[in-house]
Amino acid sequence: MSSFHELIAFERETQALGQIAGRLGWDQETMMPRGAAPQRGEEMAAIEAVLHARRSDPRVADWLETAKAPDDIGAAQLREIRRAYERAVKVPGELASKIARVTSEAQGKWAQARADEDVAAFLPVLEEVVALKRKEGQALAAGGNLYDAMVADYEQGTTSSEIAEIFNAMRPGLVDLRARVLEQPTPAGLAGTFDENAQMKLARKIAKTFGYDMSHGRVDKAVHPFSSGSGLDVRITTRTNPLDPFNCIYSTIHEVGHGAYEQNIDRVHLLTSLGRGVSMGVHESQSRIYENQIGRSRAFTGWLFKEMREAFGDIGVSSEDAFYAAVNRVQNGYIRTEADELQYNLHIMLRFDLERALMLGDLEVQDLEAAWNDRFLADFGYAVDKPSNGCLQDVHWSVGLFGYFPTYSLGNVYAGCLHEALRRDVTDLDVQLAEGDTSVATGWLRENLQQFGGLREPRDTITHAAGSAPTHQPLMTYLETKFSEIYNL
């Protein structure tokens, strides 16, 4: 067997073990007994130790030295394996294992602190997570910018300064449009109580409508919606609120975007380094275009309005136009995952600046709540009322996902480029969406982007699909056009 084939066989086993680790995380969020958290932390640490040992195995370096790629796919596999190996050998195995153990425990403590509205109960373990992630960042950066090294885990080829440049270009337009919209009357929202079992039934129907394959996936409930797995086992979660069915519906569509990306990757890449989404920014482009440009479009909401009426009866709005305005209404709120398209990126910009400061030592954990509250007041014009609406609302920092948040807005930028290209190529898109048929839209995404997995680098992936290099301008044009029409600006 050649060096290349020995390496790929070894990599397949490593990828399979990684899927097992992911399933442990899924179980922890959905079905694990609360009292099992300490043991689960040990289990996660043990499997992370095995994974780290494999990823940093000296044989990988030997194979990489002599392996000859048989084709472009093989060359891309070697590129990704080399990147993972070079990262793994920089981080001591003991540190990787400790991060896995502490973040597993921190996740449970975050959930309890969030439920209790008790920031003080969470800060000690968060302080430990931050200290460990700083050590990891220093190891990865090797004297460079440690936050850039963390961003590279989620969006390779992009630096924090490049992200800041994009955000700085977007912020003035977002703030201006938000101010003009909020001067107008707020459209009526839904009214009534919405049975949570009925919400889950509708959520599963909508998941199938967007092409999610239930024979290789499932929809469950979690505190914080997420997607898990790849290939033949891709699972998503959502959440319900009896007073706000949109929370469930659009969380589901969002996670279906993630899940469908993983399900639609060409099976030739199964359990290889190319058999998953290429980056979190590209992943978010799929979840956001499913959720927003498709799911919140005038055409699709016309179909959804009928489905809502059938599922719940009187929902408080009586026309498709009123329903469309309700789906897209802009109003004050605290929760990132519930934010409208217009304000969502402002939530991300806040988190990006705070976590970068945390990692670079410009902000200490004990000062995080005050810094969050001050920034939120400055950006949104009103004060945070409770911790679950403030610095305790997101799970990401508890599990050590520093560098992850900016990819949400990069995903929005990418989605803007993809939507522009989709509209160019599919001229009758709205006719299909009005019938609840998303197959051409999702098929376009599958054929132009999803099937390739990690074959290309992130920006090249978007450029290939959209036909031009990514820029924030299509997103800003889309937002200005859409909300100007809804609010008669």
- What are the catalytic residues? 255
Q: At what angle do helices 406-425 and 280-288 cross, to 10 degrees?
A: 50
Paired tokens of 366? 């004990």
Nearest to 22 by CA among 229, 277, 296: 229
Q: Is 406 in contact with 151 (CB distance < 8 Å)?
A: yes
Q: Is 369 in contact with 120 (CB distance < 8 Å)?
A: no
C-alpha span between 488 and 299 (Å, rounded): 19
284 is in an annotated binding site: yes
Q: Is 5 in contact with 75 (CB distance < 8 Å)?
A: no
- CB count, 10 Å around CB of 161? 10
Paired tokens of 308? 């809502």
Q: Is 241 in contact with 247 (CB distance < 8 Å)?
A: yes
C-alpha span between 450 and 238 (Å, rounded): 22
DSSP codes of every residue in 144-172 = S-HHHHHHTTTSTT--HHHHHHHHHHHHH
**Dihedrals phi, psi of 233, to nearest 5 degrees:** -140, 95
* Helix, strand, or coil (residue 416): helix
Nearest to 175 by CA among 310, 346, 33: 346
Residue found under tokens 């997101």: 394
216 is in an annotated binding site: no
One-letter identity of residue 307:
E
Q: Is 121 in contact with 109 (CB distance < 8 Å)?
A: yes
Nearest to 219 by CA among 266, 245, 251: 251
419 is in an annotated binding site: no
Instruction: Name every residue whose Cβ is closer than 8 Å to that of residue 68 and which is 6 or more positions away in sequence.
Output: 2, 3, 4
Query: Is residue 479 left, alpha or beta, with left meaning phi > 0 and alpha meaning psi from -120 to 50?
Result: alpha
**Dihedrals phi, psi of 126, to nearest 5 degrees:** -65, -40
Annotated binding site: 254, 258, 284
Annotated binding site for Zn(2+): 254, 258, 284
